[in-house]
């Protein structure tokens, strides 16, 4: 059974994950109308992934005797000066989500809710990967600079970008 404090904190995270999905959907739309089909596809995938993260939380709250709340969402910013600006915003947003997850983990320890603490470890690992991915993409964008040919190749190749983090592999 979830405490009211944990339930409220998880419902707040549900909203954050839903807003993340909306932010990436807005980014996908922006990229698509700019002709950046690879970036758009990447962002559509990211949007769906964030929605999946939200649903995982919803199901957890409901399974643990709480009541997941679906609340109104803030409309995302849909204008960017450049695709670099958009990915910088993505990185900042992932850092914000990581901070939110870390605060949630802290609350579970204060409340001695070890089942929720264990459940959230997946999100902790996921955020390490998300931040590393955003950092890798920004590094590539900085390498490209203003080179249009580089942007073309980046747009074509972004779907294949993968990052293996230290937390992803456990020693065998």
Between 96 and 162, residue with greater pLDDT: 96
Question: Please, which pLDDT band fits residue 166 given cuts at 50, 70 and 90?
Answer: low
Q: What is the DSSP string of the chain?
A: ---HHHHHHHHHHHHHHHHHHHHHHHHHHHHHHTT-HHHHHHHHHHHHHHHHHHHHHHHHHHHTT--------PPPP---SSHHHHHHHHHHHHHHHHHHHHHHHHHHHHTT-HHHHHHHHHHHHHHHHHHHHHHHHHHHHHHHTT-HHHHHHHHHHGGG-----TTT----
Q: What is the topology classification, in CATH, of domain 4-160?
A: Ferritin (1.20.1260)
pLDDT at 159 over 80: no
- pLDDT of 171 reads 47
HEC states along 103-139? HHHHHHHHCCCHHHHHHHHHHHHHHHHHHHHHHHHHH
Integer-rounded Cα Rg, in Å, for the chain is 17
- pLDDT of 158 reads 86
- Run of H or E including 3: none
d(CA 168, CA 72): 34
pLDDT at 2 over 90: yes
Q: At what angle do helices 114-144 and 148-157 cross, to 10 degrees?
A: 150
Token pair of 63, please?
């399974």
Convert the pLDDT of each residue in 111-134 to its tens digit.
999 999 999 999 999 999 999 999
Q: Would the CA dihedral through 55, 19, 133, 152 be positive or negative?
A: positive
Lowest mean pLDDT among 10-19, 52-61, 83-92: 83-92
Convert the pLDDT of each residue in 140-155 to its tens digit.
999 988 788 888 888 8
The annotation status of 93 as a binding-site residue, yes or no, is no
Domains of the chain, residue spans = 4-160
Token pair of 147, please?
């080179």
Say what percent of the chain tops pLDDT 70.
94
The annotation status of 127 as a binding-site residue, yes or no, is yes
pLDDT at 8 over 80: yes
Between 80 and 107, residue with greater pLDDT: 107
**pTM for this prediction:** 0.90
């Amino acid at each position: 059974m979830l405490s009211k404090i944990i339930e409220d904190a998880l419902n707040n995270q549900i909203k954050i994950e839903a807003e993340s999905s909306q932010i990436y959907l807005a980014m996908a739309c922006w990229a698509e109308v700019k002709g950046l089909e690879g970036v758009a596809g990447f962002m559509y995938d990211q949007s769906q992934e964030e929605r999946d993260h939200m649903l995982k939380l919803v199901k957890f709250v409901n399974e643990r005797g709480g009541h997941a709340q679906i609340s109104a969402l803030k409309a995302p910013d849909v204008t960017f000066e450049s695709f670099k600006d958009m990915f910088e915003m993505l990185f900042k947003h992932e850092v914000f989500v990581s901070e939110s997850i870390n605060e949630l983990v802290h609350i579970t320890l204060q409340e001695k809710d070890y089942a929720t603490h264990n459940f959230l470890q997946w999100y902790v690992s996921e955020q390490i990967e998300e931040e590393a991915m955003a950092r890798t993409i920004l590094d590539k964008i900085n390498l490209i600079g203003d080179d249009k040919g580089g942007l073309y190749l980046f747009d074509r190749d972004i779907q294949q970008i993968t990052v293996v983090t230290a937390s992803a592999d456990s020693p065998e």
